[in-house]
Structure 1
Amino acid sequence: MIKFWGYIKKKAQLSSSPFDPSERSNSIKGTGSSSNVLTTQNAPGYCIRYKDLGKLHKAAFLGDLAKVQHHLLFKKQDLNKRDKEHRTPLHLACANGYPDVVSLLVEKKCKLNICDSENRSPLIKAVQCQQIECATILLENKAEPNLGDIHKNTALHYAACGHNISLVNKLIEHKANIEAQNKDGHTPLLLAITENNPEMVAILLKRGADVNASDKLQRTALMLAVGGEPIGIVNLLLQYDVDLSCQDIYGLTAEEYATCSGYSIHHELISQYKIQKNLKKSIFPGMSHSERISAIKFS
């Protein structure tokens, strides 16, 4: 059983996350001589070389508002033109965090939902790079929040892996799908759990995320949470109507995950939750979990 649990944990670690290691460290890897590579410290994920960019793209990448205005006004350049990686000037301005350039491009009616070679829209790129002002401008101008990249990660998936609660709220307020699943079946809530981010888990649950959502291996939020040492996320999940009867594709429940994980505290918490849930059902038969909680609070 211990060997099997190790396999389960390995599968969890291999499941896709919106960020790869190079993007987590905000590094840009280029090829060729350094003089041929345009880099900025706040542009994770984009490798840019001079020969790949036209003048408008370069100006947008560097945040040179005057040059962007000049090229649009006098050179009549196509503001939706793509480079070799299908990036538009809007992608580059969003990735590097130039809200003034983003505002200008939007004002000039650029297309908001063009995707780059990794199928990332400017909004996804802004969120991935934690460029909050740029993301806000796009959302307020009705950029589509539910587009998925090549891994089917939406902007909300990227936001759930970060620490900006206001950005998550803003995306949800603009109709981002809180139950969107990436290629591994992970919802934003499941990703927040794999990232060990209790604050993000709390806000997603508060905004209505399904606590019993499961990934492609049918692992629920609680199954993923009990594999880690901190008890904060497990405690958060057990404040909601967790279905302890759910099984993964191997027939294991969250309680069995807790037993196999080696963290006895998690098994104790689940056992206590089960007792309390059964007790509430006997006291308030026919009521939903939220109705039983309300009844207890006001009794």
Structure 2
Amino acid sequence: MKRIFGFGRKRKGQPPAGSASLPSPGGAYELRQKDLGKLHRAAASGDLAQVRQGLKKYGIDGRDKAERTALHLACANGHVDVVTFLVENKCKLNLFDSDNRSPLMKAVQCQQEKCVAILLEHGADPNLADADGNTALHLAVLSGNPAVAGLLLQHDANIDAQNKEGCTPLILAISEHHGEIMEFLLKKGADVHARDQCERTPLMTAASGGELNVIKVLLRYGADVSHKDTNGWTAEDYAVIHGYSR
């Protein structure tokens, strides 16, 4: 199955290798200081005093070359005090960067749980989709973070949202071998019969990888062994095709 989420894929607005950049956690933006205005630089580095000063001169929702706001940068780098300040000063919560990711999506992707909680408590939309059709819940699954997924579900994230390939968070959890989050989603009511664009089910995904324990869990939740995809293949066919006839 094609990977939908690549940390290594170069994004618009990122610098070439070897350029001077600010340090950042996994999944965060790569930033060249010279490309950032004072407000964005302060937000990215967590300098609250400079953020306060910057708001006197710059709009709170101003964008950089990659369409990022100060909130995007603060969330991606986990600067809780800056995020709190921006939110309390009525910044817009649901603006997209050049990859169609909101500040909430960046906080989820970078596993900044406190920032995720603040944004959700102030009304950030958990069901927006990025350029690949992934919602914040998809990103939480791909990061393997049940705690963040739980926060999103508490704030009405769609547990069965489909990305552009038709994959639900449950299907992604299986394809990424995140067994804990898979069981968490099933307990929360994820559709065990969900189908992607090729009519493949979570059971077929598990069978393709020879995931016997996962298969047992899915069967316990009522997965349909007789369903056929657009090729007319069942989950058993997928197991055999991929060398897991056992």
Tell me the TM-score range normalised by the shorter chain: over 0.9
Partner Cα separation in structure 2 for residue 196 and residue 230 of structure 1? 9
Which one of the candidate residues 120, 134, 142 is aligned to 2:115? 134
User: Is the Cα–Cα contact under 8 Å of residues 28 and 77 in structure 2 kept in the other structure?
Assistant: no
2:73 is the counterpart of 1:92: yes
With the length of structure 1 as denominator, give the TM-score of the two structures.
0.77
Which one of the candidate residues 15, 22, 26 is aligned to 1:30? 15
Q: Partner residue of 1:21?
A: 8
User: Is the Cα–Cα contact under 8 Å of residues 227 and 258 in structure 1 kept in the other structure?
Assistant: yes
Q: Deviations over 1:57-95 (max 9, x none)?
A: 0000111111112222xx342010000110000000011
SS in 2 for 1:133: helix
Pairs within 5 Å for 1:169-180: 169-180=150-161
Classify 1:41/1:61 alpha carbon distance in 2 versus 1 (closer, same or farther; 3 Å): closer
Which one of the candidate residues 46, 64, 83 is aligned to 2:29? 46
Which structure shows the higher helix fraction?
1
For structure 2, the 5+ residue unaligned runs are none
- How much does 1:242 deviate? 1.3
Q: Partner residue of 1:224?
A: 205
1:166 is matched by which residue type in structure 2?
A: A
RMSD of the TM alignment (CA)? Answer: 1.8
Partner Cα separation in structure 2 for residue 107 and residue 20 of structure 1? 31
Q: Deviations over 1:219-238 (max 9, x none)?
A: 10000101223422111111
User: Is the Cα–Cα contact under 8 Å of residues 17 and 191 in structure 1 kept in the other structure?
Assistant: no
Classify 1:111/1:230 alpha carbon distance in 2 versus 1 (closer, same or farther; 3 Å): same
Which one of the candidate residues 84, 92, 113 is aligned to 1:111? 92
2:115 is matched by which residue type in structure 1?
A: C
- What count of residue pairs does the alignment treat as equivalent? 244
Q: Partner residue of 1:275?
A: none
- How much does 1:22 deviate? 5.3
Partner Cα separation in structure 2 for residue 255 and residue 220 of structure 1? 12
Partner Cα separation in structure 1 for residue 54 and residue 71 of structure 2? 14
With the length of structure 2 as denominator, give the TM-score of the two structures.
0.93
User: Is the Cα–Cα contact under 8 Å of residues 210 and 239 in structure 2 kept in the other structure?
Assistant: no
Classify 1:54/1:242 alpha carbon distance in 2 versus 1 (closer, same or farther; 3 Å): same
SS in 1 for 2:208: coil
Runs of 4+ that moved beyond 4 A:
none
2:151 is the counterpart of 1:167: no
For structure 1, the 5+ residue unaligned runs are 1-11, 266-299
Partner Cα separation in structure 2 for residue 32 and residue 161 of structure 1? 25
Which one of the candidate residues 39, 52, 59 is aligned to 1:69? 52
SS in 1 for 2:236: helix
